[in-house]
Structure 1
Amino acid sequence: MDIVDSQIHFGPGGIDRTLAAMDALGIGAVLADEFWGLDNWGPGYTLPNGAYRVTSPTAELAAWLHPDRFSYVLRIDRLDPEADSLIRMSKDAPHCRAIRILPALTATELAAFESGAYDRLFALAEQIGQPVFVFIAGHVDLMPRYLQKFPRLQFVVDHCGMPIEANVSFLDAPTPGQEHAGPDVTYFDEVLKLAVHPNVALKWSHAQGMFGMRDYPSIGLRPYLRRALDAFGANRVMWASDHGGNQTGETWGELVHYIRDNPELSDAEKAQLMGGTVRALLNWKKG
């Protein structure tokens, strides 16, 4: 099986270690969002207007050295005065597969997202054919406006679309509206409503935390994954470990095997979920 992990994080000095782990686990390729820690959300630098411009030195180097094993996404701050240029350059970069936006990080950005402030970025991404990953944890009701307005743009909703679990510091501040909340499995009904829009896919990652089920091999997650596959189709759900960013204690191997060893999935579903979907939707041909 061609296994592609659709999100990991790593940084300086991590290329050889990551390759060794990939080889041991049978992972053919990874999509990296380079991330050095919650203290600065870097690597990158703050601009005079307060926007943060992300750079990807390790991910770019890994992709140039091992083009069949590494690709990456580029996080974009909509307040960056050069955001349009960065999106265009990301499309030209041979190993950058998509951009990523994170409006659920702050109440201010959620309000901006709700108001339509991301229209310009999405219009450009649609025009040039650059897919967009969206971190919109627990606020998927804000997605349909954009899905309808930009029907030719491929969106991917990060981390099951679910509210962030309480006391897990994925963010530099609590998720707006979820400061005291824990897992809310009923919210998955809202996520599944997105499936009626053909231009959105779901990234199946952080499910252990989002659903509050950390009992490897995660048998309790199987009904929810089945609902996702039935609603979206296996060709619109992609697995990710978020290795390097996962904070619920599972090893990379456990995050691979709870999917690969799930007896309730067909071989065809596993092939789509663990590699086929991300390759198809990001136009990422196997090397």
Structure 2
Amino acid sequence: MNTTRRSFLATSTAALTGCSLLPGHSRGDWIDAHVHVWTPDVQKYPLARGFAVSDMQPPSFTPEQLFAHCRPEGVRRIVLIQMSYYQTDNSYMLDMMRAHPGVFSGVAIVDETAEGVAETMRGLVKQGVRGFRIYPGKVKNLSAWLGSPGMATLWKTAAELKVNVCPLINPDTLPLLDKMCEWYPDTGVVVDHFARLGMASPAKPEEVKNLLRLARHAKTHVKASAFYALGAKKAPYTDMGPLVRQVRDAFGPQRVMWASDCPFQVEHGHNYRNAIAIIRDRLDFLTEQDKAWMLRGTAEKVFFSAAAV
């Protein structure tokens, strides 16, 4: 799509929705769409089987620690992603959501093979959860995993509840995810971290093509996130600019959301300011309207809107 046509569509969308630069929000009222939190209090919040305290790196990342990084950069709301240390026990995330009303939305983890998973999902949505993370872990047969009866229940229930499936996947899973989006067109999908393109090795053109192909599914979104781990893995991360541009052009800014992936973004010499600055300040092809959607509007629409319960 050329720049003139893309700009026209963005302007038209803003006019239709009455959201030129999304009024009602001040510049800087941003949303971080992907953060993990955990506590060193493993007595109250036990770790899942297979995890040890030594696995928690950093040892602690509480909301208060997060706020010290994000609030100076104008980030006021956050989407919490259930941390793997707790697996399907979402208690700490839910407690933090209750402790900070209006600040957090949540993406939970459930066991799709468990009996009553649909009711479990419904109960979590009533507590403010707006997405369910899926990731293959050590699964070798990705097709059998995504095509399982439990996964079918999870995708169908997410559609019924008007919440999202949030895949953490590698590029080789993109064709299978594309097929799932075909099978479940009413299910909202949010792909984490550009499907980790450029994490293990430079992104291949075919992998980029597979990610952009998902744009044909109207309810599919992409997180522009985890810049510390992708591409050159060095601030200011502007080597990721071409991919950001391709994703924006394919999906439109209304289906792209920025995120930090804290606390990992603020470890090993990386910092929060550089994470948000690549979208906010450093890519001159992003319009003010693009930034308003990517830094706030998309995540607000997807993760802070009402669900069906």
TM over 0.5: yes
Out of 138, 152, 155, the position equivalent to 1:122 is 155
Displacement of 1:205 in angstroms is 1.4
- In the TM superposition, structure 1's runs of 4+ consecutive aligned residues that sit over 3 Å from their partners are 113-117, 245-249
Write the deviation string for residues 23-45 of structure 1: whole angstroms up to 9, x where unpaired.
2221111111142xxxxx3225x
Instruction: Please name the residue that 1:111 is paired with.
Output: 143
Matched, 1:153 2:187: yes
Higher helix share: 2
Out of 199, 208, 233, the position equivalent to 1:188 is 208
- 1:203–1:237: 8 Å Cα contact kept in structure 2? yes
Out of 76, 80, 101, the position equivalent to 1:32 is 80
Instruction: Please name the residue that 1:101 is paired with.
Output: 134
Q: Which amino acid aligns with 1:279?
A: E
Structure 1 gaps, min length 5? 36-40, 45-52, 167-181
Q: Distance in 2 between matches of 1:79 and 1:245?
A: 30
Q: Distance in 2 between matches of 1:20 and 1:219?
A: 25
Q: Which amino acid aligns with 2:89?
A: V
RMSD of aligned residue pairs (Cα, Å): 2.2
- 1:42–1:54: 8 Å Cα contact kept in structure 2? no
Instruction: Give the 3 Å change call, closer, same or farther, for CA 283–66 of structure 1 in structure 2.
Output: closer
- 1:131–1:153: 8 Å Cα contact kept in structure 2? yes
Q: Distance in 2 between matches of 1:199 and 1:135?
A: 17
Q: Distance in 2 between matches of 1:34 and 1:249?
A: 24
Matched, 1:55 2:82: no
- 2:227–2:275: 8 Å Cα contact kept in structure 1? no
Q: Distance in 2 between matches of 1:141 and 1:207?
A: 23
- Answer with 1 or 2: which has the greater Rg: 2
- 1:208–1:221: 8 Å Cα contact kept in structure 2? no
Q: Distance in 2 between matches of 1:198 and 1:34?
A: 26
Instruction: Give the 3 Å change call, closer, same or farther, for CA 109–282 of structure 1 in structure 2.
Output: farther
Displacement of 1:249 in angstroms is 4.7
- 1:183–1:209: 8 Å Cα contact kept in structure 2? no
Secondary structure of 1:190's match?
helix
Q: Distance in 1 between matches of 2:279 and 2:244?
A: 10
Displacement of 1:276 in angstroms is 0.6
Percent of paired sites with the same residue: 24
Matched, 1:20 2:68: yes
Write the deviation string for residues 83-141 of structure 1: whole angstroms up to 9, x where unpaired.
22221112211x222111113x2234623234344212111211222211111221110
- 1:140–1:190: 8 Å Cα contact kept in structure 2? yes
Instruction: Give the 3 Å change call, closer, same or farther, for CA 149–68 of structure 1 in structure 2.
Output: same
- 1:214–1:248: 8 Å Cα contact kept in structure 2? no
Displacement of 1:75 in angstroms is 1.2
Q: What are the equivalent positions in structure 2 for 1:1-287 lying under 5 Å apart? A: 1=27, 2-12=29-39, 14-35=62-83, 41-44=84-87, 53-57=88-92, 59-93=93-127, 95-103=128-136, 105-108=137-140, 110-117=142-149, 118-138=151-171, 139-163=173-197, 165-166=199-200, 182-186=201-205, 187-210=207-230, 212-246=231-265, 249-262=269-282, 263-284=284-305
Q: Distance in 2 between matches of 1:201 and 1:160?
A: 10
Aligned residues: 253
- 1:90–1:99: 8 Å Cα contact kept in structure 2? no
Instruction: Give the 3 Å change call, closer, same or farther, for CA 43–85 of structure 1 in structure 2.
Output: same
Q: TM-score, normalised by structure 2?
A: 0.75
Structure 2 gaps, min length 5? 1-26, 40-59
- 1:156–1:203: 8 Å Cα contact kept in structure 2? yes
Q: Distance in 2 between matches of 1:277 and 1:111?
A: 30
